Amino acid sequence: MRVPTPHPPPGIIGQNRAVLTPHYCVFPPEGIMDSLLPSWPGCIVRFQTTPQMGARFAQALLILPPGAGSAGAVDDGVQAFLYVQQGVLEVTIEGAAHRLAPGGYAYVPQGLPYAVRNAGEGEARAIWVRKRYQPAAGVPAPRVVIGHRDSAPREDSGPRWRHLLLGTREMAMDFEMNIMCYAPGAHFWCVETHIMEHGMVMLQGQALQLLGRDWHELWTGDFVWMGPYVPQQIYAIGPEVCEYLLYKDVNRDVAL
């Protein structure tokens, strides 16, 4: 008796939403592979963007089992931002230990060592952004910042609002971190074309995003990199508020 050949499952020939161009990327989380680093024993690092892609910063998802973290102090000579998505992180800076629950964040200025440890009973996850600092004449160096999204300043614009986590209108900072929020059906008011680049992680919800001349569907967990001047616009779709964590470089002149 002939055994029927099973039908191949959907996606077997590589259909997916991942896109990489010289000017932007859209990466669903399931396609970003694990990296293991000697300086983060027992942890998984999933690099979302790096200078190898063309970005001028690095962004990754850190996955830390209970008790795991950095091997001593992280002293890589660049500034860092950590945003906790899951679990509890303990971030130690200048001898002070800060316990960060989901929605908590820490900014560490360049040249200041810091240590990270999962202080909870379950897996911890955090977005890790790093950038080499660009000093400006007459501007003091940035300070350590510890905060939580619920206590950060909030700006409202009708069906859109944002939580201002870091660096907004602070000349000492050369990048900002915000959480952008859109009610279902809301959209940004124009197609943007600007010098700033973005790193964007969808925290919840769904959206349609214009990048260049193409529209892309975004889901919770997706990562998007947008290089300078790429045309961009976003529409929130689906039944819940669309939220995303957004990196943006700011406050510095062009290099000529």
Q: Is residue 153 part of a domain?
A: yes
pLDDT in tens, 9-22: 766 676 789 999 99
Q: Is residue 13 part of a domain?
A: no
Q: Is residue 195 part of a domain?
A: yes
For the domain that residue 164 is a member of, what is the CATH number?
2.60.120.10
Q: Is residue 14 part of a domain?
A: no
Q: Which two tokens stand for residue 173?
A: 């900072």
Q: Is residue 238 part of a domain?
A: yes
Q: Got the DSSP string for 135-187?
A: --TT-PPP--EEEEGGGS-EEEETTEEEEEEE-TT-TT-SEEEEEEEE-TT-B
Give the amino acid at 232.
Answer: Q
Q: Got the DSSP string for 54-95?
A: T-SSEEEEEEE-TT-B-SS-B--SSEEEEEEEES-EEEEETT
Domain count, the chain: 1
Q: Is residue 256 part of a domain?
A: no
Q: In terms of residue numbers, what domain contains 140?
A: 19-249
Q: Which two tokens stand for residue 56?
A: 């001028």
Cβ pair 197, 246 in contact under 8 A: no
CA distance 147 to 145: 7
Beta-sheet pairing, 175-182 with 160-166: antiparallel
CA distance 129 to 88: 18
> Which bin fits 226, alpha (ψ -120 to 50), beta or left (φ > 0)?
beta
Instruction: Please list the pLDDT of the chain residue by residue as tens digits (256 residues).
Output: 666 666 767 666 767 899 999 999 999 999 999 999 999 999 999 999 999 999 999 999 999 999 999 999 999 999 999 999 999 999 999 999 999 999 999 999 999 999 999 999 999 999 999 999 999 999 999 999 999 999 999 999 999 999 999 999 999 999 999 999 999 999 999 999 999 999 999 999 999 999 999 999 999 999 999 999 999 999 999 999 999 999 999 999 998 9
pLDDT in tens, 19-58: 999 999 999 999 999 999 999 999 999 999 999 999 999 9
Smallest CA-to-CA distance from 174 within 127, 229, 211, 136 is with 136
